[in-house]
Structure 1
Amino acid sequence: MHAIVAVDARDVSDPLALRDMEIAEPALRDKDLLIRVEAVSCNPTDVKRRARVKSGGEPRVLGFDGAGVVEALGPDVDGFTVGDKVWWAGDAGRAGSNADLQAVDHRIVSRMPASTTFADAASLPLTALTAWESLFDRMRLSREDTGTLLVVGAAGGAGSAMTQIAKSVTGMTVIATASREDSAAWCRRMGADAVANHHDLVATTEPLAPGGIDYVFSAYTPGNIEAYATLVRPGGQIVSIDGGDLDLLPLFPKSISFHWEYMFARARYDTWDIGEQGRILSQVADLVDDGTIVPTATHYISDFSAEGIREAHRLVESSSLIGKVVVHR
């Protein structure tokens, strides 16, 4: 089958940063679906993983978000049939979605929204799972919870999903952060109640939440811990999705809780509740179909090749991308 692979770490400007290659079709595990990939999106994790590919190893098929059609089922699969249109965010330990076919554990897959194209569907799985797990698994919130949520990096894919899900599934007031007029307008379109500037986070957020922030969803954590310590109320909670070498001591005097969110953890460790990801995606599909949540694709590349995927990586690396970029057939 055709796949787009990385064979070594190269700058995105290099035409060989990603390459078209013919590789063997994936072998199915017992719980797998074999899916013909129709569309993918590019996430910051794709860019980071491309930069870490070591020369001399096996070619790496990147790509996580996907939307496509089920072609075959492993013997222990239930709930799916050949021909189903599905979406998924994948498993960081397996070959990705930048290929004609991908083998994916059916427990982390669900039907895709019936109301969307494959391209629009591919914009949401990873970010919707990240947002949902942050709210309900990390911060242990319920649909009845209220308070003020600060979404840092709200114009990106994860922030766009978080704003929509927090506004539609909880009682949160959402303050988004953005630094340009177009990104601030996008945040309001996603449902944000107010917009602060993350380049002057404390000064622009305090007037919007004079009583303090209850929760923070952070896509840009390094360099912001001191600001969070100032803004968050005693006993508040922070979820970070970007990692980094952090000094969390400034959070101690207010007993502020700090959580990591890594969407791939369930699949990586085959946790007892791995099927929760399929159930979450099914709920998100319902929210898309009833118009509560909208896809977050803003750039569409109709070139499912190394050149099309490389352009998607370039857009993500530009750090000015609003929403998501998708590549489709």
Structure 2
Amino acid sequence: MKAVGYFEALPISHDNALIDLDIPPPAPGPRDLLVRVLAVSVNPVDTKLRAASPPAPGQPKVLGWDAVGVVEATGSDASRFRIGDRVFYAGSIARGGTNAELHTVDERIVALAPHSLQNGEAAALPLTSITAWELLFDRLQVPRGGGQGQALLVIGGAGGVGSILIQLARQLTGLTIIATASREETRQWCLDLGAHHVIDHAQPLPAQLREIGHEQVDMAASLTQTDLHFDAVVESLKPQGRLALIDDPKGLDVGKLKRKSLSLHWELMFTRSLFETPDMAQQGVLLAEVAALVDAGRIRTTASADFGTINARNLKRAHALIESGQARGKLVLAGF
């Protein structure tokens, strides 16, 4: 089958950073679905692993986790979906990726794709939706329908996770959402998605918060460059506030949280599938809720650019844009 992967961890500018492959199709395990992939999206985790995670010698590594596809076969113990179902999911970091014609995935982390979206539009949603949902409701512990009178600061509001986090918080909570963006197009993007305010993360944050009437915020989601913004976020949080992050800062002085009794929460959406936690199936449940919100017109796709068919050339372009830090929303590809 066709796939895209790599044999060496290389800079994206290298000719062999990503290459077109012909590899054997996978066989589904007992709880798996075998999915014919119709569309994928690209996430920062793809670029980080490609640059720093070499595969086993002589073996290609296939990246990609977001997917929309059609179920072609089911494992012996799989019962939630039928052949022909159009599904979407974010997969497991412990398995081969979705940049391939056929892919296997545990049925517990899968849901029927939103019927109102095209394949690429739907492929933009799974990984970032799971990340944003778990960050908001599980890590920051905001009650569904709650949060009235409280403010959430979203660092990097126009990125993939920020784009869906803003929408979930606006639709499902009473929080005041303050996003950060540094360009006019990304500022408007955040406002269009439902942010109440947008401030510039290239400028001092505390002063800008005061200008919009928020001396401090109750909670913050740091989605990018936490190293750079950490001190400003700590200053901007109220005593006993909560900070959640998803990126990989090289070092944080967590002692700075003590004076205010601030709590720190890390979110990795792969944790449930990686450890097969007892609540692993909650990811399938929440994706079904996201699909329902989309089909009801309450949440929109965060796809911002269609990079064409799934091949090495187009995926290299997508990786390069993400690494530039200039991407807005999600980059999608469809078809082989």
* TM bracket (short chain): over 0.9
Contact 1:9-1:50 within 8 A present in 2 as well: yes
User: Which residue identity does 2:305 align to in structure 1?
Assistant: H
8 Å CA contact 2:209, 2:215 repeated in 1: no
Letter in 1 for 2:160: G
Counterparts of 1:85 and 1:144 in 2: how far apart (Å)?
Answer: 30
Structure 1: runs of 5+ lacking an equivalent: none
Correspondence for 1:317: 323
Q: How does 1:139-158 map to 2 (within 5 A)?
A: 139-146=140-147, 147-158=150-161
What TM-score, normalized to structure 1?
A: 0.98
Q: Spell out the pairing of 1:1-329 with structure 2 (5 A cutoff).
A: 1-54=1-54, 56-146=57-147, 147-200=150-203, 201-220=205-224, 221-244=226-249, 245-329=251-335
- Report how many residues are paired: 329
Q: State the Cα deviation string for residues 175-204 of structure 1 (Å, max 9, x = none).
A: 000001111000001110000111122222
Q: AA paired with 2:194?
A: G
Find the aligned partners of 2:197 and 2:140 in 1 and give their Cα distance: 22
Give the SS at the match of 1:131: helix
Q: CA deviation at 1:303?
A: 1.9
Q: How many angstroms apart in 1 are the aligned matches of 2:312 and 2:214?
A: 49
Q: Percent identity?
A: 43
**Cα deviations by residue, 1:92-127 (Å, 9 ceiling, x for unpaired):** 010010000000000000000010001000001001
Tell whether the 8 Å contact from 1:240 to 1:259 is kept in structure 2 after alignment. yes
For residue 239 of structure 2, what is the amino acid of its counterpart? P
Task: Supply the distance in 2 between the matched residues of 1:131 and 1:54 (Cα, whole angstroms).
Answer: 28
For 2:47 and 2:277, the matched residues in 1 are separated by 26
C-alpha displacement of 1:57: 4.7
How far apart are residue 135 of structure 1 and its match? 1.1
Residue type of the alignment partner of 1:222: D
1:281 match: secondary structure: helix
User: 1:155: how far off?
Assistant: 0.5
Greater Cα offset, 239-248 or 28-37: 239-248
Asked if the contact 1:107/1:277 (under 8 Å) is kept, the reply is yes
What are the superposed Cα offsets for residues 279-323 of structure 1, whole Å, 9 maximum, x if unpaired? 000000000001100001111022211111111111111101111
Structure 2 residue runs of 5 or longer lacking an equivalent are: none
Q: Distance in 2 between matches of 1:318 and 1:328?
A: 22
Please state how far the C-alpha of 1:246 moved relative to its aligned partner: 1.1
Which whole-Å CA distance do the structure 1 matches of 2:272 and 2:279 have between them?
7
- Residue 209 of structure 1 and its aligned partner are, at CA, apart by 4.3
